[in-house]
Amino acid sequence: MQFLQIGSNNEDVRALQKALAKELNLKISADGVFGPGTSRALSSWQQSQGINEVDARGNAVYGKKSDDVAGSYIEENFITEAGYAQAAEHLGVEVAALKAFALTESKGRGFFSNGFPVILFERHKFYQAVRLKFGVARANALATQMPDICNPNAGGYVGNEGEIPRLERASSIDWLCAHSSASWGAYQVMGFNYSRAGYQSVQAFIEAVKRSEKEQLIGFVNFVGYDANLVQALRAKNWRVVAALYNGSGNVSDYAPKFAANYDLAVRQR
């Protein structure tokens, strides 16, 4: 990773913050901004490793000594500037355009604080999956018994970690239908899109998503690259088309402004 100090603002900072939170069990905000709190957390970790890297004012910085110890671990587990650069080159799009997705879909985080991937359980997708696998009678019976997790209509969201129990309840009915019916990770790719994300099965996709944010990025790049129209819209930064293809035509007015705003935010990172 690159040299980081107070004032740095990019994905490497966000990755460092996530690594520090995981290794030190700290509630440090992974906002991508290297401030005094990040410097103090970094200093604590450096002391545990016998590393001394500070600026002229004595604030801890992330330099070669820190990178020699932690760089490989961070790059293998989190989304870094280098990871985004490789993904952007592969798709032929701007780095900031790719960053806009994670900022929009998950505020840049691939995992909840408890270590479970960021998810959103879609009860209407579960209804559709159950109907397809077991028939309409079974789907309707479940919709009557537990409409919060099986319903022909979207909604019922709890949000954040509260989505996990909803997934677990649905999984007790059918694991495959449940995991196909949630969106996963930093980019909120739906489980039923496993093939488009480059995996042979829903289970393989879920296992990859659970391993690391880097794996989430790989699946996202495969997902985007599968659709030439989405890649073209992304290159042109036509956010209305991007939102229609990625989030559905009914969500354009909600997502297009978010993509545009988060693209501008990503451009300002340094």
What are the tens digits of pLDDT across the range 64-119? 999 999 999 999 999 999 999 999 999 999 999 999 999 999 999 999 989 999 99
Distinct helix (H) and strand (E) counts, the chain: 14, 3
What is the sign of the dihedral through the CA atoms of 146, 151, 155 and 160? positive
Q: Note the pLDDT of residue 25.
A: 85
Can you give the pTM of this predicted structure?
Answer: 0.92
| Measured distance CA(265)–CA(3) in Å, rounded | 21
User: What is the pLDDT at residue 34?
Assistant: 97
Alpha helices in 107-251 (DSSP H): 123-134, 136-145, 163-173, 175-180, 202-211, 213-225, 228-236, 239-247
Residue 29's pLDDT is 86
Return the pLDDT at 27. 81
How far is it, in rounded angstroms, from Cα 60 to Cα 46?
8
At residue 131, the pLDDT reads 98
83, 214 Cβ separation under 8 angstroms = yes
What band does 26 get if pLDDT is binned at 50, 70 and 90?
confident
pLDDT, one tens digit per residue, over 180-221 is 999 999 999 999 999 999 999 999 999 999 999 999 999 999
Alpha carbons 120 and 111: distance in angstroms, whole number? 12
Each residue's pLDDT tens digit, 11-24: 999 999 999 998 88
Q: What residues form DSSP beta bridges with 122?
A: none
Both structure tokens of 31:
């906002």
Question: What is the reported pLDDT for 160?
Answer: 95
**267, 7 Cβ separation under 8 angstroms:** no
Whether the per-residue pLDDT at 270 is higher than 80: the answer is: no
Contact 77, 155 (CB under 8 A): no
CB 108 within 8 A of CB 30: yes
